[in-house]
Amino acid sequence: MGNIWTEQAKFQSWLDVELAACEANLKLGLIPADAMEQIRSNASFDPSRILEIEAEVRHDVIAFLTNLNEYVGDAGRFIHLGMTSSDVLDTGLALQLKSSTTLLIKEIKALQKAIKSLAKQHKNTVMIGRSHAIHGEPITFGFKLAGWLAETNRNLQRLQRLEKDIAIGQISGAMGTYANTNPEIEKLTCEELGLKPDTASTQVISRDRHADYVQTLALVGSSLDRFATEIRNLQRTDVLEVEENFAKGQKGSSAMPHKRNPIKSERISGLARVLRSYVVASLENMALWHERDISHSSTERMMLPDISITLHFMLREMTDIISHLGVYPENMLSNMNVYGGVVFSQRVLLALIDSGMVREEAYKIVQRNAHLAWNTPSGDFRRNLESDKEVTTKLSPTELANCFSTEIHQANLNVIWERLDI
């Protein structure tokens, strides 16, 4: 990913655009065949020489063309025919963005595979579900991962859509009116480069496309943040249901030898904030003056390489975390059964209602027994219910025992496994 965004790669994308435009002009008879052969054979550039020229002319594309002509010679007069700088800049940038998206798709597919594999392993690993960080009802760890997989699937679709939407070029000249070039040149050039011509460019490709790129990458990064935040919470000492891999020789603290910290997940959460911070800049880049200005250029030089490289790194980090995640089913089961299975309160409530008890009365009885267990260090919800005559006169021992079965909770998850092919 880093190689896509080097100065060398940027200038190469510009050269690719210029050469494709020359080939288009050749097909329309606007460049002599011998001149085109000279261009093909000699076209090259030197990044350090371009910067040297730019220091004098204060224009990056002119500096690039000047250096290119130093290699090509007389045939250089056929390069950049009827084009403007933004034709090169924006079409070259489209090549970089398309290549970046292709790599991101590769990495998110690897993450997708890792999550799916772990979900399969833990389809039936029972744990507690939480809302407001408070115990709710039993779920399975595979079910939690199924939610991550579904979100990753959507993010893959977003990137695949983006790969097409960002692959847009223009060879429309100053103001984008084709006044000094033929629209056919644009069509042929874009075909050569694997791009589509912009529907109606001004002198630049409208920045809603680039804002879409940034927002999509930030959205994917925010999904990774969600997964990382959950891992961090589940690794807390008082929970310890999952844990990042702790490598041999790794140390968690300079002062406390016992520490095993979720540093990769924390890193992902931190970097996601950087990705989201670029969203505002990308949206503000859309409002350019008239047919163009270059207020967007300075931010994009920082933003687009950074957000691409950062998300690529984050995807690899998350795939590594998932692939080597420590999972502790015993702790999950122990945490779920704290206070004597108080998390099965809804099953008891429904059983009492089914027995004929009024809902409000049933709720009061179940809540009373649940809170008695909750507020007692050795509290036991099930034992409380078994001692409550208002409960035992309505529910048999077998009916009460059935309320504490996780099989009831797991059976209906088959529909999710089918949807996700887990």
List the catalytic residue out of 48, 131, 132, 258: 132
Quote the CA–CA distance of 192 and 68 in Å, as a whole number.
Answer: 20
Structure tokens of 110? 């690897």
What secondary structure letter does DSSP report for 374? H
**Does the active-site annotation cover 409?**
no
Quote the CA–CA distance of 69 and 166 in Å, as a whole number.
Answer: 30
Of residues 397, 382, 390, 388, the one with CA closest to residue 342: 382
**Does the active-site annotation cover 41?**
no
Of residues 189, 234, 8, the one with CA closest to residue 87: 189
Relative orientation angle of helices 47-57 and 7-27, to the nearest 10 degrees: 90
What one-character-per-residue DSSP string does 192-258 give? HHT-EE-SS-SSS--THHHHHHHHHHHHHHHHHHHHHHHHHHHTSTTT-SEE----TT--S-SS-TT
Cα 271 to Cα 64, 228, 284, distances in angstroms:
34, 11, 21
Quote the CA–CA distance of 252 and 246 in Å, as a whole number.
Answer: 9
Quote the CA–CA distance of 120 and 116 in Å, as a whole number.
Answer: 6
Q: What b-and-e string marks burial along 379-409, b requiring 16 or more CB atoms within 10 Å of the CB?
A: bbbbebbbebebbeebbeeeebeebbebeeb
List the catalytic residue out of 41, 44, 117, 253: 253
**Neighbour-count burial of 359, counting CB atoms closer than 10 A to its CB (0-12 exposed, 13-18 middle, 19+ buried):** exposed
Collapse the DSSP code of 354 into the 3-class scheme (helix H, G, I; strand E, B; otherwise coil) and give the result.
helix
Quote the CA–CA distance of 1 and 308 in Å, as a whole number.
Answer: 7
Residues with catalytic function: 132, 253
